Amino acid sequence: TLRNRIVEIFEQYEQGELFFSIIGGGATGVETAGQMAEFFQKTMRPLYKHIDFSKIHITLLHNASRLLPYLKGVLAIYPAEAC
Protein backbone atom coordinates (compact mmCIF):
# COMPACT_ATOMS: atom_id res chain seq x y z
CA THR A 1 0.00 0.00 0.00
CA LEU A 2 0.99 3.65 -0.27
CA ARG A 3 1.26 3.88 3.50
CA ASN A 4 3.71 0.97 3.66
CA ARG A 5 5.83 2.46 0.90
CA ILE A 6 5.98 5.81 2.72
CA VAL A 7 7.12 4.04 5.89
CA GLU A 8 9.84 2.27 3.87
CA ILE A 9 11.03 5.62 2.51
CA PHE A 10 11.17 7.11 6.01
CA GLU A 11 13.12 4.08 7.26
CA GLN A 12 15.76 4.63 4.55
CA TYR A 13 15.80 8.44 4.75
CA GLU A 14 19.01 9.97 6.10
CA GLN A 15 19.10 13.69 5.28
CA GLY A 16 18.30 16.33 2.68
CA GLU A 17 15.10 17.19 0.87
CA LEU A 18 12.39 14.59 0.36
CA PHE A 19 9.73 15.15 -2.29
CA PHE A 20 6.41 13.40 -2.85
CA SER A 21 4.53 14.22 -6.05
CA ILE A 22 0.84 13.59 -6.62
CA ILE A 23 -0.53 13.83 -10.14
CA GLY A 24 -4.01 15.28 -10.45
CA GLY A 25 -5.78 18.16 -8.76
CA GLY A 26 -9.19 16.55 -8.65
CA ALA A 27 -10.86 15.21 -5.52
CA THR A 28 -8.63 12.13 -5.24
CA GLY A 29 -5.36 14.04 -5.65
CA VAL A 30 -6.33 16.78 -3.20
CA GLU A 31 -7.58 14.24 -0.66
CA THR A 32 -4.40 12.15 -1.01
CA ALA A 33 -2.19 15.20 -0.47
CA GLY A 34 -4.17 16.21 2.62
CA GLN A 35 -4.11 12.70 4.06
CA MET A 36 -0.36 12.43 3.48
CA ALA A 37 0.28 15.75 5.22
CA GLU A 38 -1.84 14.67 8.18
CA PHE A 39 -0.13 11.26 8.30
CA PHE A 40 3.29 12.92 8.34
CA GLN A 41 2.33 15.31 11.14
CA LYS A 42 0.32 13.04 13.42
CA THR A 43 1.89 9.63 12.87
CA MET A 44 5.37 9.95 11.40
CA ARG A 45 6.69 13.04 13.20
CA PRO A 46 6.48 11.47 16.69
CA LEU A 47 8.13 8.26 15.45
CA TYR A 48 10.94 9.89 13.45
CA LYS A 49 12.14 12.71 15.69
CA HIS A 50 15.52 12.83 13.91
CA ILE A 51 13.88 13.92 10.63
CA ASP A 52 13.54 17.61 9.81
CA PHE A 53 9.97 17.66 8.51
CA SER A 54 10.42 21.13 7.03
CA LYS A 55 12.48 19.39 4.32
CA ILE A 56 9.66 17.07 3.31
CA HIS A 57 7.49 18.40 0.49
CA ILE A 58 4.23 17.27 -1.05
CA THR A 59 3.65 18.62 -4.55
CA LEU A 60 0.30 18.41 -6.27
CA LEU A 61 0.62 18.54 -10.06
CA HIS A 62 -2.39 19.52 -12.13
CA ASN A 63 -2.73 20.74 -15.70
CA ALA A 64 -5.54 23.24 -15.07
CA SER A 65 -5.43 26.77 -13.69
CA ARG A 66 -6.82 25.66 -10.33
CA LEU A 67 -7.44 22.61 -8.18
CA LEU A 68 -10.85 20.94 -8.10
CA PRO A 69 -11.85 22.63 -11.36
CA TYR A 70 -15.45 21.40 -11.19
CA LEU A 71 -16.08 23.37 -7.97
CA LYS A 72 -17.06 27.02 -8.12
CA GLY A 73 -15.94 30.02 -6.11
CA VAL A 74 -14.56 29.67 -2.60
CA LEU A 75 -14.82 25.88 -2.59
CA ALA A 76 -12.23 25.71 -5.38
CA ILE A 77 -9.96 28.40 -3.93
CA TYR A 78 -9.62 27.00 -0.38
CA PRO A 79 -7.70 23.79 -1.27
CA ALA A 80 -5.21 25.78 -3.38
CA GLU A 81 -4.50 28.15 -0.48
CA ALA A 82 -4.20 25.27 2.00
CA CYS A 83 -1.49 23.67 -0.12
Neighbours of 76 (CB within 10 A): 15
Pick the catalytic residue: 17, 31, 38, 81?
Answer: 31
By the 10 Å C-beta count (0-12 exposed, 13-18 middle, 19+ buried), 30 is classed as buried
17: annotated active-site residue: no
Active site residues: 31
